[in-house]
Structure formats: C-alpha cells, structure tokens
Structure 1
Amino acid sequence: MSFLGQHAPADLARRLAHVRWIAGGTGAGKSTLTQSLAERHDLLVYDGDRAEQGYINRCTPQQQPYLFALLRTPLEQRWTGRTADEIFQAMPSLYGETFGFVIEDLLTLPADRPVLVDDFRTLPRDVAPLLTRREQAAFLLPTPEFRRNALGTRFADPARARANWGSSDHADALAKRLARDELWDEEVRHQALELDLPVLQVDGSRSVAELADELAAMFHLRDMRGMART
C-alpha cells in the first residue's frame, strides 16, 4: 500500500494545516514568488525540484511505473520520436506518482511556522483532499507568450539545454516542451475549476510584488519584515 493509502486524508489535512502550496505551469515564476514570500513572511520552503533527486531511490516499478521508466530513458530519447501528447501522457506527475514522497517529506519538517511548497508536479486533485481551506493552494498558469519568453531565455544557455535534452535538436525539444506544458496547463485548469481551487494567470502585466501581495493575502501570511523571530 502507498504512503497516502496508509493515512486518512482528514488526519493529513490536520497535520499539514500550516502548509501552503504554489503549483501550476512551468515558466510562471513560481520559484521567484516563493522566494519573495519566504523572505517577507519567514517561511520554510519545500523546493520540489531540489527534492526530486531524493525520490529516485524511493521509487519502485510497482508504485511509480512512469517515473521508473523515465529514469531509464536517455535524455535524447525523452524528447525525440514522440509527440508532445505522448510525452505529456507519460509524465509521472499526471498520475500523482511522487506526491506521496512530498507528503512524507513535509511531515518530517518543523511545524512551528508556515511551510511553502514550490512544486510544479502537484495537481489540484492530489492536494485538494489535504486542504483545510481552499486558499491554502494556488495554481499559477502563464500565458503561452509569457512562457515562451521565459523558457526561451532559460534554455538559451547551451549547457542548461544539454542538461535537459542531451544532444537532441534543442529547438525541436523546446517546441515539444512548450506544447507539452500547454497540455499540462489545460489539465491543471480543468481540475482546479472542478475542485474550486484558485488559479492565477501570469502574463507579465503585474509585478512580482503585486502577485506576492495577492498570494500572501490568500494564504493568510503575516509580514515579518523587520521583525525578529523568537
């Protein structure tokens, strides 16, 4: 039985009542907003990208078949010979394969102050049963143009592009990445609407500070700037 299957959702929701979640689409500025909120409000951050390495030794072909298969696929083959839809359908996150690892990790962290989860992999249907109120989670979805600019800048660095796509055609890989991410956004938007969870569109018209203000109010965070922790 999986970790989540061993615990009642109501009990986990109670134990995770101090946790706030930022998820959604790639290139929406989630990490930038997380950093801003953490500095303002003295939050402990759970970085899903950094934590992912720790999932590898815990995955099994039975519980995480898509992740297990992905880890055994060379970088080049992850983006070549498949359509964007096929790549999307093979995403471990689409099936919540690593969400149990996130919860396991969160339960080991101190609960004396809010914890902010920055995790692209979290879907609304995974986190919804673990919320005591809907405003504990927000899903940021960038407009296609905003994401295209963000990822174009990010992967303009050849070393970073190689680290993600190996020696495959980087222009083709980026095009498939953008198309896959659009499919992911559609899934997130559909689930969030169905579950009445907050979605914020990111198009560059508002500053990081303005978005952080909105999230802070939604998350009921106290501004700790200039105050010493006791």
Structure 2
Amino acid sequence: MRNVYWIGGGSGAGKSTIARRLADRHGWRLYATDDAMADHAHRTTAEEAPFLHAFLAMNLDERWVDRSPETMLETFHWFRGEAFGLIVEDLARLPRDVPVVVEGFRLLPHLVQPLLTEPGHAVWLLPTPDFRQAVFARRATRGGRFTQRTGDPGRAEDNLAVRDSLFTERLREETGRLGLPSVTVDGTLTEDELAERVSEVLRLRHGEGPGPARGPGP
C-alpha cells in the first residue's frame, strides 16, 4: 500500500473533487469507493456483512424515515466497515508502479491506519453542518435526491443531515485520537485552496508526484 493515498471524510466535503484533481495533476489512478459499492454488495454474504444485507432488505422509508438518526448511524453498514476488505483486495490487484488516490466516506480512520506505511499518505475532510447543507441544497437543484422517493422527504432529509453530522464528529474524534490529519471544510477555502491544503498534508508539491512507488520493505 505504499503507492496508495487515502482521502476520507464526511459526505459533501469535496473528497471526490479533490481526489480527481490530484489524480489529473499527478497522473495517478483514481479509485472512488462509492463506485465500488454495488460490486462489493454482490461480493458479500449475509454472514460476512449482516448490516449491509439487512439494509438491502429494507424499503426506502425503513431506511431513511422510520428510524432515528442515531440508529441509522450505528447500523449503517459502510460506517461499520463492512466490506472494507474488498477495497483492499481491489487495490492490491492494481499495478504498484503508479500511485493511486482512494476517496470516499468508507475510509474509516481505524481501518486505514494499519495500512499506512509512512506519514503523509492520508487525510480526512470534515465538513461543517452548514457547509454540508449548502452542498446538498445545490445538488438537489440539479436533480431529485433519492429522499424524494420516500413517504416523507422532509423527515428523510432531516434524518440524513443529523446522521451525517454525527458521523463527521465521530471521524473528528477518531482522527484526533489516532493522530491522523484532518481538514475542516467550512467554505472559507476555495476549491483551489482546499486542493493545495490537501497537497500539503500529503506532502506533495504542485506539478510533482511522489516519485516511483517503492517495493515492499524487508
């Protein structure tokens, strides 16, 4: 995993945008964990990922309307790290001579930390509630959110907002406890400035990559 850079964080923080910019700038491969979710769901059994398969059996109201945000947080399969091992399997199949930037909320700090072989290979973006709300409001104007297909879209949106806020605070506590870097995203930084801040954390210089990936150590 020496050729892997990790960008985790809360929903709406700009992980995908920043990861794509870094991949384009440095000629890296991009691995978006959101894109792998359907494949990973098919590659698991109910015994391996019980929360995932319980979620798949629910209808939209059961997922987003009928449960409290706290229950949604504690039972959401990706927040519990289910199928994280499949991310690692996917990455292990990629060529090691090209760095890869991995992004997504599934990158829980306590799961990523054991895979970090050196400093400067991971960062978590932590959006404030106001920033996240503004992001999702903009997204809603570009097309209906899945919450519109529930029986109570307003309550579903409120539940999701609280759940995501709780998740972000959990990430903030965990990165702090584990001594892992994070960046608060509150709208005071432009997209360019946020990309530069992440580059600094990852110890990258503009226009330069990290150099060839090294083989395994002794």
What's the TM-score once normalised by structure 1's chain length? Answer: 0.85
> How far apart are 1:190 and its partner, in Å?
1.1
For 1:1-230, list aligned pairs within 5 A: 16-157=1-142, 159=144, 161-162=145-146, 166-221=149-204, 223-224=206-207
Specify every segment of 5 or more residues in structure 1 that has no aligned partner in the other structure, as ranges: 1-15, 226-230
Q: Give the superposed CA RMSD.
A: 1.6
CA distance in 2, matches of 1:190, 1:146: 19
Q: Deviations over 1:133-161 (max 9, x none)?
A: 242110000111100101122234553x1
- Give the residue type in structure 1 aligned to 2:183: L
Size of the alignment, in residue pairs?
208
- Give the residue type in structure 1 aligned to 2:126: L
Q: Percent identity?
A: 37
1:5 corresponds to: none
- Give the residue type in structure 2 aligned to 1:184: F
CA distance in 1, matches of 2:72, 2:198: 31
> How far apart are 1:39 and its partner, in Å?
1.3
Give the secondary-structure state (helix, strand or coil) at the position aligned to 2:180.
coil
CA distance in 2, matches of 1:133, 1:183: 29
Give the secondary-structure state (helix, strand or coil) at the position aligned to 1:135.
coil
CA distance in 1, matches of 2:160, 2:2: 34
Q: Would you say the 8 A contact 1:124–1:191 is kept in 2?
A: yes
Specify every segment of 5 or more residues in structure 2 that has no aligned partner in the other structure, as ranges: 209-218
CA distance in 2, matches of 1:44, 1:197: 23
Q: Would you say the 8 A contact 2:150–2:156 is kept in 1?
A: no
> How far apart are 1:224 and its partner, in Å?
4.4
CA distance in 1, matches of 2:203, 2:95: 19
> How far apart are 1:95 and its partner, in Å?
2.0
